[in-house]
Amino acid sequence: MKYDLRIKNGQVVTEDGLQRVDLFIKDGKIARIGTALQSDTANREIDAQDQYVLPGFVDPHVHLNDPGLTNSEDFYTGTCAAAAGGITTVLEHPLTFPLPDNLAAFEEKKEIGKRKAIVNFGLFGACSEKNQEEMKKMIESGAVAFKTFLTYSPEIPKLDDGHLMDRMKFLADYPAVLAIHCENNDIVEYCTAKLQAEGKVKPEDYPDGRPEIAELEAVSRMCLLAKETGCKVNIAHCTLKDAVDIVQKIKKQGADLSVETCPHYLLLNRSMLPQLGVFGICNPPLRQEERVEELWNCIFDGKIDWICSDHATYTIEEKMAGKDNAFLAPAGVTSVELCYQLFFSEGVMNRGLSLEKFVELTSTNAAKRYHLYPKKGRIAAGADADIAILNPNQVWTVKDENLKQMIKWSPYDGMEVTGKITRTIVNGIEVYNGTDIICEKGCGAFISPEERVD
């Protein structure tokens, strides 16, 4: 049989474990896994000798700023960075203008993504006070999930608990997940104001404005509301073992919950803030080093569902607004290109995380939660040909100027990494060759849960 692409000699991570087999791709799908037959031919071959062939990474938490904030990122530059990091599917969050809390804005954003994205993309809708009917329309139009904040955000309105409970009751009747940024707004506003009044405004002071109890209380409250309403809830960018334990406890009581974390909470810590400055400001904030170790224990104990980038870029000028008062810096760090390579380096190479668990945390679990599996999140015959090829022996150093994102900064500049993405294939098309983006703008596809559930 003639195939479009053969990936040979690689160590392939399938749901049955690590196998030294070839992949045969045709019409954007994985057509066969196994040994080449004498009659097999392919238009193109990739030799993955001594490399891992993995399901393309699924990043379910990115901010690509498009439309409305494209001075710092857009669908093209953001997905180029994603592709360079082995990500074949991004789920874009709704912190854009116009706010996608209605069908018209959602459709506008979808069309922009179709023109620009070079990897698959799904869209979150936003929850707002009076948009229940619009949420239903967005679900019908392919919204993969919805997002809300418990704290003030300049891009998306904060809901009070009453409105939020109504939205959760509504969503309980649908498969859509509600992702929640869990911090107690009253505690954050009080602590932030108090620190500023005392003149404690350095980057290393910033975490005291958003203390651990703010996250713990909010996670506890949202888990209880999830149990009460039946809504499917994801706790976004969790930083604390105690918060993860709250999720596990309420989950055992019948709540439909998941919890994610990010590389900055696994590789960075509060003691680095004097050096990182405003480029280490994020919400929730970086925690103490012992909290980082506790979070790693949650990874190994199977209590974290997946890793995401929470990629949120701003211009350097926007970040530097906080140079004299860290509380004035916009909160967020960049990592979509680096997320899973950093996690591989630290998790697999340094700490001994298994490849199978790595794949679950970087691809399969998120694909299942957001109803993209079995087409996404696995290497199997019939699945979409979304592939990341990673050289585990390649040691390299992060250099901000080489990043594919629009604005060239990250909190990881100068960090040594073991394990490098050498090829990224999206729906059977090679989009990244280890150095350059080699595909046309707009070659990615919009995906929705309805299209992906068998």
> Taking the CB of residue 330, how many other CB atoms lie within 10 A of it?
18
Return the CATH superfamily for domain 2-52+384-393+413-452: Urease, subunit C, domain 1 (2.30.40.10)
Domain ranges in the chain?
A: 2-52+384-393+413-452, 57-369
Confidence of residue 454 (pLDDT cuts 50, 70, 90): very low
Whole-number Å distance between alpha carbons of 90 and 162: 31
Pairing verdict, β 429-432 and 22-26? unpaired
**Residue 191 is which amino acid?**
C
Residue range 378-395: mean pLDDT, rounded: 98
pLDDT at 11 over 50: yes
Confidence of residue 453 (pLDDT cuts 50, 70, 90): very low
Residue range 112-123: mean pLDDT, rounded: 98
Main-chain phi, psi angles of 408, to 5 degrees: -90, 75
Given this model, what pLDDT does residue 154 score?
A: 79
Given this model, what pLDDT does residue 450 score?
A: 62
pLDDT at 452 over 70: no
Per the CB < 8 A criterion, the answer to whether 261 and 307 are in contact is: yes
Same fold, 2-52+384-393+413-452 and 57-369: no
Tokens 């595909």 belong to which residue?
439
Tokens 């160590």 belong to which residue?
11
Q: Is 444 helix (H, G, I), strand (E, B) or coil?
A: coil
Strands (E), 93-176: 120-126, 145-149
pLDDT-wise least confident of 149-163, 195-209, 275-289: 149-163
pLDDT at 351 over 50: yes
pLDDT digits (tens, 9 = 90+) for 297-333: 999 999 999 999 999 999 999 999 999 999 999 999 9
Q: Tell me the two tokens of residue 348.
A: 């697999």
Q: Half-sphere exposure (CA, 13 Å, Cβ side) for 445? A: 16
Q: What is the pTM of this model?
A: 0.97
Q: Tell me the two tokens of residue 291.
A: 């909290």
Query: How far is residue 85 CA from its own chain's centroid?
Result: 12
Report which secondary-structure segment, H or E, holds 295.
Answer: helix 289-300
pLDDT digits (tens, 9 = 90+) for 251-278: 999 999 999 999 999 999 999 999 999 9
Decide: residue 263, CB within 10 A, 0-12 exposed, 13-18 middle, 19+ buried.
buried
Look at residues 22, 20, 32, 55 and name the one whose alpha carbon lies nearest to residue 425.
55
Tokens 């979509």 belong to which residue?
336
Q: Which fold has domain 57-369?
A: TIM Barrel (3.20.20)
pLDDT at 130 over 90: no
Look at residues 377, 360, 363, 387 and name the one whose alpha carbon lies nearest to residue 454.
377
Tokens 């209880």 belong to which residue?
224
pLDDT at 208 over 70: yes
Four-point Cα dihedral 88, 28, 439, 112, nearest 10: -70
Residue range 430-440: mean pLDDT, rounded: 98
Residues in contact with 381: Cβ distance below 8 Å, sequence separation at least 6, in sequence order:
30, 31, 32, 33
**Residue 417 is which amino acid?**
V
Mean pLDDT, the chain, as a whole number?
A: 96
Q: Tell me the two tokens of residue 116.
A: 């620009």
Torsion sign (Cα): 63, 214, 189, 157: positive
Whole-number Å distance between alpha carbons of 129 and 167: 9
Look at residues 118, 120, 122, 123 and name the one whose alpha carbon lies nearest to residue 80.
118
Helix pair 103-116, 132-140: axis angle to 10 deg = 30
pLDDT at 179 over 50: yes
Residue range 181-190: mean pLDDT, rounded: 97
Main-chain phi, psi angles of 368, to 5 degrees: -70, -45
Residue range 351-380: mean pLDDT, rounded: 98
